[in-house]
Copies of this chain bind each other. A is one copy, B any other.
Amino acid sequence: MSSPDTIDNVLSQVDTGLDASLERLFALLRIKSISTDPAYAADCRKAADWIATELQGLGFDAAARPTPGHPVVVAHGPHQAGPHVLFYAHYDVQPVDPLHLWHTDPFEPQIVEKDGRKIIVARGASDDKGQMLTFIEACRAWKAATGALPIRVSLMLEGEEESGGKNLPPFMKENADELKADIALVCDTDMWDRQTPSITTMLRGLVADEIEIIAADKDLHSGMFGNAARNPNQLLAEIIASLRAPDGSVTLPGFYDDVAEISPELKAQWAGLGFDEKAFLGAVDLSQPAGEQSRSVLEQLWARPTCEINGMIGGYTGDGFKTVIPARASAKISFRLVSGQDPAKIRAAFRAHVEAMLPPDVSVKFTPHGGSPAITVPADGDFLRQALSGLTDEWGKQAVITGSGGSIPVVGEFKSILGLDTLLIGFAHVDDQIHSPNEKYDLESFHRGIRSWVRVLGALAQ
């Protein structure tokens, strides 16, 4: 359906329309949609309405839909042959403090030149308004050049990604029938590097638990009781230490039972990425990988589960010294999971392990802090193959498949609530300063991002 000629026409439309696309981006960037601060609730509403209006102008059935928090914009293009995609991005932005570190007004976007590249500077330029508009402007170009989109497109654009996003999952559940599609597309990630487009297909899951070890019923004096009384700091340290073997692996029984090895093809592709372990660790003043010694750093980060002690505290931690044996000590512990691992099973194994280490006169209190499974998009699917080919065509360099050590909750919700796999395609760069002063988006990211979506939509129509 989408011939090379057609694609070329749409791409020309992108190029000639770029200034107008930038004007629209600037209009959206000027809206102070800081979701975490109630003072900007009206601005969030304004941003949602602005987007809905734009989408209506492109022929979408679009509306800013109410939630207990900020609106969710939902838009549906006309029924159409080919697959049905559900595109996700978010219109809210981070606060701008500390304002004095900004070189320009964060809500008065500018194009400036830096290191020989043109960049768009504004809060939200990269995260996520710029990325969001690459998709919308690609739809606009298709419409302008051909009168229609090449496939069926719906959009779900939220306004609480930067502030916890508690209202989105219930909204998705309530509107699950309406939101069903064949695949989800998310534009909120980076390219591999300036030359290489990428699709993220593996996201680690997360189990977070807090444990509090309770020994004596009051703080004790270590002169009076030291040796005889159980010190919960010591016991907590022993529990934590027991979670990792000397080879860096996690010791919980069954922890790796459901962990699959990555395919030889993916392993080879990752090896070909030329990831610089020394540079990655050196950037934060480290030199030695801490995890499983038999695995590469990239594998440790993208394809292997981990156990991390995110916080621990017990006893006297102020200035000076107090010879106390505390009654309690606690830790916040999380497990990043990979595909196949069941969060409930991992949590149960962790708790059983802790309980087995307790002397009879010591108790533990567990407080769960959420759990979500890892996400893996099948690496041999048609959608993935088509999207990779679209990206490769645009950038002239083979698009790569990457993992991510982090968790993006909405991807889990697409799977669990809507049954959808997700393709994470983005054009941001690690130096975009998202969440920081002087956030920017490369003009090239915006322009070729739009072009990339034109090609991906065309490829998905094959």
Contacts and interface: CB of A to CB of B under 8 A. Distances in A.
Interface of A: 204, 206, 208, 210, 215-218, 220-231, 233-234, 236-244, 248, 280-281, 284-292, 297, 300-301, 304, 306, 308-317, 320-326, 329-332, 334, 336, 359-361, 369-370, 404-407
8 contacts: A208-B321, A224-B406, A225-B301, A227-B248, A227-B300, A230-B288, A311-B326, A321-B334
For this chain, the copies found in one complex come to: 2
A388 to B, nearest CB: 24
Contacts of A292: 227
A183 to B, nearest CB: 24
A322 B204 CA distance: 16
Nearest to A203: B223
Contact of A234 (B244, B284, B289, B325): B244
A125 to B, nearest CB: 21
Given A310-B322, A317-B313, A336 B234 contact: no
A31 B91 CA distance: 70
Given A223-B336, A228-B297, A336-B222, A315 B312 contact: yes
Nearest to A325: B308
A369 B321 contact: yes
Contacts of A280: 228
Given A288-B359, A313-B317, A308 B216 contact: no
Nearest to A232: B309
A370 to B, nearest CB: 7
A301 B224 CA distance: 7
Contacts of A407: 223
Given A221-B406, A237-B240, A210 B284 contact: no
Nearest to A290: B230
B316 A228 contact: no
A216 B281 CA distance: 9
A323 B206 contact: yes
Kindly name the residue among A223, A242, A243 whose own CB sees the greatest number of chain B CB atoms within 10 A: A223
A306 B336 contact: no
